[in-house]
């Protein structure tokens, strides 16, 4: 992402985080930051359709570490999928290596958002009161599931809005082709990939986590490189 775009996003986030802002003003600033990142994805896709060398299909590995490694991996997948990236979860010790596939600009967006959301989730969990009698780990896992679910919905909405705003009649076809190319790349590397069974969670944190996901800032301010451990949520 260009420095000019990053500067705009950071400025909006600083305004959104200003204690003097009303909740409505803060939400508006955060929505604008999310909109800019989504618009950037569409712009890069249209440019790459004309000049493929500017945005090649690639992959990278993100290390997701304990505690709550599986839940962090779920958050990464919730960010990656709406941004037209795919990920494969591979067990690595007590954590996971998440092998991401996507176009360079989309992988960049995933890195940007995931890093920020991990920190926001850690802050949200730190302030969440576990109900009396409930196991803290069970509550936190469902909290993170709710957070990831809502984040994914918000990102899909932002992406759809950016497509509609572009006004380019070919954009849907361009994006569909990009998704197909990413899927083909993944299939080349993992021809016998299996889908993990649906996870069962016990805990009452989904609702509070979803509420935190609705408040989460999707503008992002940091970038994690390939192979960087995804930390930020303690036990």
Q: How high is the pLDDT of residue 222?
A: 32
Torsion of CA 76, 77, 78, 80, to 10 degrees: 90
Low-confidence ranges of the chain (pLDDT < 70): 1-3, 5-6, 9-10, 13-19, 21-24, 26-27, 30, 168, 197, 217, 219-232, 234-235
pTM: 0.78
Model confidence pLDDT, tens digit, residues 138-161:
999 999 999 999 889 988 988 888
Q: How high is the pLDDT of residue 225?
A: 36
Model confidence pLDDT, tens digit, residues 200-219:
777 778 887 888 777 776 76
Backbone angles phi, psi at 60, to 5 degrees: -155, 160
Q: How high is the pLDDT of residue 10?
A: 65
Tell me the two tokens of residue 73.
């991996």
Q: How high is the pLDDT of residue 102?
A: 95
């Amino acid at each position: 992402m260009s420095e000019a775009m990053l500067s705009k996003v950071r400025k909006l986030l600083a305004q959104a985080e200003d204690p003097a802002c009303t909740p409505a003003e803060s939400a508006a600033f955060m929505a604008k930051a999310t909109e800019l990142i989504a618009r950037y994805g569409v712009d890069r896709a249209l440019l790459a359709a004309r000049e493929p060398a500017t945005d090649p299909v690639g992959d990278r590995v993100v290390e997701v570490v304990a505690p709550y490694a599986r839940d962090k991996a779920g958050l990464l997948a919730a960010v990656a999928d709406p941004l037209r990236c795919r990920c494969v979860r591979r067990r690595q010790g007590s954590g996971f290596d998440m092998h991401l596939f996507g176009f360079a600009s989309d992988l960049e967006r995933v890195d940007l958002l995931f890093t920020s959301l991990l920190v926001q989730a850690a802050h949200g969990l730190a302030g969440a009161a576990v109900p009396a009698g409930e196991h803290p780990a069970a509550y936190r896992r469902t909290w993170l599931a709710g957070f990831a679910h809502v984040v994914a919905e918000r990102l899909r909405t932002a992406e759809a809005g950016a497509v509609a705003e572009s006004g380019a009649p070919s954009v849907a076809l361009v994006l569909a082709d990009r998704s197909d190319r990413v899927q083909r790349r993944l299939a080349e590397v993992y021809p016998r990939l299996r889908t993990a069974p649906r996870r069962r969670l016990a805990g009452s944190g989904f609702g509070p986590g979803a509420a935190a996901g609705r408040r989460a800032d999707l503008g992002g301010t940091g970038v994690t490189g390939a192979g960087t451990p995804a930390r930020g949520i303690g036990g």
